[in-house]
Amino acid sequence: MRKPRPHKKNRRTRARRWQQHISFVRRAKEVRAARRLRHEKRNATRIVFRRKLLAPKVWALQLTEERAAFLEFISRLDLLVSGGIPTLVSFERVERVSPDATVLFKAELQQLLLKHPRCLTFRRPKSDRIQQVFRQVGLFEDMGLASAVALTRDDVIHWEYASGDEIDNPALAASLLKFASKLPDADRDRLLGSAGEALANCVEHAYDFKREKRLCSPAGSKWWAFSNLRDNIFFVALCDLGCGIPTHLPQTHLDWTQQVMSRLTGASLRLPDSALIRTAAEEGVTSTNAKNRGRGLPDMLNDLHDTEDATLRVFSNYGMVRWDSGRKGGVTTNYKSSICGTIVLWEVRFMDRAEAI
Amino acid sequence: MTERIINVARDFTPYPAGRFRKHGRFTGQVFREDLLVPALRDFDVVLVDFNGTEGVRSSFLDEAFGGLVRTENLPREIVARLKVQVDDRHTALEIDEYIQKETDARRGANPAR
* Chain B interface with A: residues with Cβ < 8 Å: 13-20, 23-27, 54-60, 62, 66, 98, 101, 105
- Predicted local distance difference test score (pLDDT) of residue B111: 54
What long-range pairs does A48-54 form, CB within 8 A, spacing at least 24?
A48/A85, A48/A86, A50/A86, A50/A87, A50/A88, A50/A121, A51/A80, A51/A85, A51/A86, A51/A87, A51/A88, A52/A87, A52/A88, A52/A90, A53/A77, A53/A80, A53/A87, A53/A88, A53/A89, A53/A90, A54/A90, A54/A92, A54/A93
pLDDT of A341 strictly over 50: yes
Q: Supply the pLDDT for residue A3.
A: 63
**Would you put residue A290 in left (φ > 0), alpha (ψ -120 to 50) or beta?**
beta
Interface of A with B (CB under 8 A): 166-170, 172-173, 188-197, 199-200, 203-204, 221, 291-292, 295-296, 299
Q: What's the angle, vertex CA A289, arms to CA A288 and CA A290, rounded to 5?
A: 85
Alpha carbon of A126 to those of A57, A59, A131, A153: distances in Å?
11, 15, 7, 16
Residue B94: closest C-alpha in chain A: A292
Kindly report the average pLDDT of chain A as a whole number.
Answer: 84
Q: Are A235 and A345 in contact (CB under 8 A)?
A: yes
Phi, psi of A59 (to 5 degrees): -105, 110
Higher-pLDDT residue of A176, B46: B46
Specify the pLDDT at position A165: 86
What distances in angstroms separate CA B73 from CA A298, A320, A351, B112, one per listed residue?
A: 28, 42, 48, 14
Alpha-carbon gap: B38 to the closest alpha carbon of chain A (Å):
24
Q: Please give the pLDDT value at position B109.
A: 65
Report how far residue A128's alpha carbon sits from residue A152's, in angstroms, rounded to the nearest whole number.
10
User: Nearest Cα to A331, choosing from A318, A317, A314?
Assistant: A314
Q: pLDDT tens digits, residue range A108-148?
A: 999 999 998 889 999 999 999 999 999 999 999 999 999 88
The model's confidence at residue B106, banded by pLDDT at 50, 70 and 90, is confident
Q: Are A169 and B9 in contact (CB under 8 A)?
A: no
The predicted structure's pLDDT at residue A124: 94
ipTM associated with this complex: 0.77
Contact A71, A339 (CB under 8 A): yes
A240: nearest Cα among A212, A203, A294? A203
pLDDT digits (tens, 9 = 90+) for A165-204: 888 767 777 777 777 677 777 888 888 888 888 888 888 8
* Contacts B27 to A, Cβ<8 Å: 167
A228 backbone dihedrals φ, ψ, rounded to 5°: -155, 140
**Residue B26 with chain A: CB contacts under 8 Å:** 167-170
| Crossing angle of the two packed helices A185-201 and A169-180, in degrees rounded to 10 | 150
Round to whole Å and give the CA distance between B39 and B45: 9
Judge whether A64 and A335 are in contact, CB under 8 Å. yes
Query: How far apart (Å, rounded) are the C-alpha atoms in residues B91 and B84?
Result: 10
Q: How confident is the model at residue A357 (pLDDT cuts 50, 70, 90)?
A: very low
Residue pLDDT, tens place only, A262-298: 667 766 667 788 988 998 888 876 666 566 666 788 8
Flag if A167 and B18 touch (Cβ within 8 Å).
yes
Query: Could you give the angle at which helices A296-306 and A185-201 cross, rounded to 10 degrees?
Result: 160
Q: What percent of chain B has pLDDT over 70?
A: 96
SS3 A151: coil
- Which residues sit opposite B47 in a β-bridge? B5, B83
- Predicted confidence at residue A356, as pLDDT, reads 44
Give the distance from CA B108 to its chain's centroid: 22
User: A94 pLDDT exceeds 60?
Assistant: yes
The partner residues of A59 in beta bridges, in order of sequence, read: A97
Confidence grade of residue A253 (pLDDT, cut at 50, 70, 90): low
| CB neighbour class for B105 (10 Å; exposed up to 12, middle 13-18, buried from 19) | middle
